[in-house]
Structure 1
Amino acid sequence: MNVGIGLPIGAPATLLTWARRADAGPFSTLGLLDRLVYDTPEPLVAPAVRAGATRRVRVQTEVLLAPLRDTALLAKQAATLDRMAGGRLVLGLGIGGRADDHQVAGVDLRTRGRRLDEQMAVLRRLWSGEPYGDGVGPIGPAPARPGGPEVLFGGFRPAALERVARWGDGFLAAAPPSRAGTLFDTVRASWTTHGRTGTPRLVAQVNVALGPAQVIEDARTNMHAYYRFTGTPDRMVSGLLTTPKTIRTAIRAFEDLGADEVMLYCYGVDPDQVDRLAEVV
């Protein structure tokens, strides 16, 4: 099973150090969160820089909030990045839940799921080289992967899980093993119901911090600030894994559930965690 790293959002200047160390180690993928009204790197600009600084690891958005973006421009940006990165882009997509993100983007929060479905129809068409419509298009360049980069969807509600089978290649489960198994089963069942061949790619995510007490406290502080909007940031922070034993146990649990990859998501900014996590995996 592959193991990737979710990069910290708190120190953009260190991300190239993280990326180069991960590329030299055993990791498969580099992920990055997306928020608009927050001190986070832009989720397509940052992967473009990381792709240029690495040679083999995949670069993944985890998840990019597609409804906040213009569809045609998103299609072009993703195809360009996929092409220039040699097919290493994994486009994790979601709808988000923050009212302020949608407000500044001028997008109705209440219809964000419907908008994502409409966007996917256009994205798939454009990535296949078809015209945009109404005598306009096509919009290039062609992505490295025929039909577009690999698309994973995150989410928990039934509509989000069904979206994997309707439009995607796989599922991002930001949930502990105790909950991820049910989500995986639902995604697999929907995949079969929609007549898809093969199997969906299943990617799990777990929050980790590994190192001295200062590193762990930094991660907890950053997580608490990021999830304050939920009203239950303490619950999120309580799930942070901070020892080699608990991290290995989680990886094995996700493997037993059939996950293809586990993303070890870091909120502490110390890049030495890459080397510590490499010893764990």
Structure 2
Amino acid sequence: MSLGIGLPISDPAALLEWARRADAGPFNTLGLLDRLVYHNPEPLTALAVLAGATTRVRLQTEVLLAPLRETALLAKQAATLDLMSGGRFVLGLGVGGREDDHHVAGTPLRDRGRRFDQQLADLCRLWSGEPHSAEAGPIGPAPAREGGPEILIGAFKPKALARVARWGDGLLAAAPPSWAGGLFDTVRRDWQELGRKGEPRLVAQVNVALGPDSLVDEAKAAMHAYYEFTGMAEQMASGMLTAADDIRAAIRAYRDLGADEVMLYCWGGDPDQVDRLADLA
């Protein structure tokens, strides 16, 4: 099982330092979240910059809100990043639930699931080299990975989880071990029922802050602000793991559930967390 680092969004310019430290350490992946009406950096642009500052780590959207984006342009952007990073790009995708994001993008919130299903089908078709339509030809460049970059789908409910086996390569589960096990089992079952070869990639995400009290307070405040719209921000921030033993225990629990990777998502801006988490790992 491998470990990844989820990048904070408070200071985009500092992410180069985070990326360089992670690339030199034991981590396999850098992850970056997505929102439109927020102060986070746009993830495809940011990860492209980080691809040029690294040589080894994978670069993962966690998750990109696909229905906010035009599909043909997204296909071209993802293929370009995959190609120019040497196949290190992982496209984590989800539908998004913020009304303001969809309002600004001009995409109806109520139609996001239907739109997402069509996007997944179109992305896979375009990356295979098929023409866009009867009126337009293929959209290049061809991605480094045949068939397109690896797709992870962030999901919780059965209908959304079913997309993993139908269109994706794996699941991104932002859930504690007590909940993630059931999500993993559902995806494995769907995978087998559809006759997919091999096994789905199972990636867990856990929110962490490792350092002095000031860092922990900063991280919890940042997470609270980000998830305020859910009405569960206090509960989610209180679940952040801030002790080394608790983080180790969570990593072991996910490993025992069969996770292929655990993303340690950081909300505090101190890049020294990369080194602290590396020592812990």
Tell me the TM-score range normalised by the shorter chain: over 0.9
Which whole-Å CA distance do the structure 2 matches of 1:267 and 1:134 have between them? 46
> Which residue of the partner structure matches residue 222 of structure 1?
222
Which whole-Å CA distance do the structure 2 matches of 1:52 and 1:182 have between them? 38
The amino acid that maps onto 1:113 is: G
Q: Does residue 193 of structure 1 match 2:178?
A: no
Q: Does residue 236 of structure 1 match 2:240?
A: no
SS in 2 for 1:44: helix
The amino acid that maps onto 2:115 is: R
Which whole-Å CA distance do the structure 1 matches of 2:45 and 2:58 have between them? 15
Query: 4+ residue runs of structure 1 moved beyond 2 angstroms?
Result: none
> Which residue of the partner structure matches residue 262 of structure 1?
262
Which whole-Å CA distance do the structure 2 matches of 1:223 and 1:140 have between them? 38
> Which residue of the partner structure matches residue 93 of structure 1?
93
> Which residue of the partner structure matches residue 132 of structure 1?
132
Which whole-Å CA distance do the structure 1 matches of 2:78 and 2:96 have between them? 19
- Cα deviation, 1:221-244, whole Å, max 9, x if unaligned, reads 101100100111110011100011
The amino acid that maps onto 2:15 is: L
Which whole-Å CA distance do the structure 2 matches of 1:100 and 1:8 have between them? 22
Which whole-Å CA distance do the structure 2 matches of 1:103 and 1:174 have between them? 25
> Which residue of the partner structure matches residue 278 of structure 1?
278
> Which residue of the partner structure matches residue 33 of structure 1?
33
> Which residue of the partner structure matches residue 10 of structure 2?
10
In percent, how many aligned pairs have the same letter? 72
Q: Does residue 175 of structure 1 match 2:169?
A: no
- Cα deviation, 1:98-124, whole Å, max 9, x if unaligned, reads 000000000011110110110111111
TM-score for the superposition, normalised by structure 1: 0.99
The amino acid that maps onto 1:224 is: H
The amino acid that maps onto 1:244 is: A
TM-score for the superposition, normalised by structure 2: 0.99
- Cα deviation, 1:197-216, whole Å, max 9, x if unaligned, reads 11100000000000011111
Which whole-Å CA distance do the structure 2 matches of 1:120 and 1:114 have between them? 10
Q: Does residue 68 of structure 1 match 2:84?
A: no
Q: Which runs of 5+ in 2 are unaligned?
A: none
- Cα deviation, 1:54-82, whole Å, max 9, x if unaligned, reads 00000000000000000000000000000
> Which residue of the partner structure matches residue 57 of structure 1?
57
User: Deviation of residue 196 (structure 1)?
Assistant: 0.6
SS in 2 for 1:275: helix
User: Deviation of residue 135 (structure 1)?
Assistant: 3.0
> Which residue of the partner structure matches residue 121 of structure 2?
121
Superposed CA RMSD: 0.5
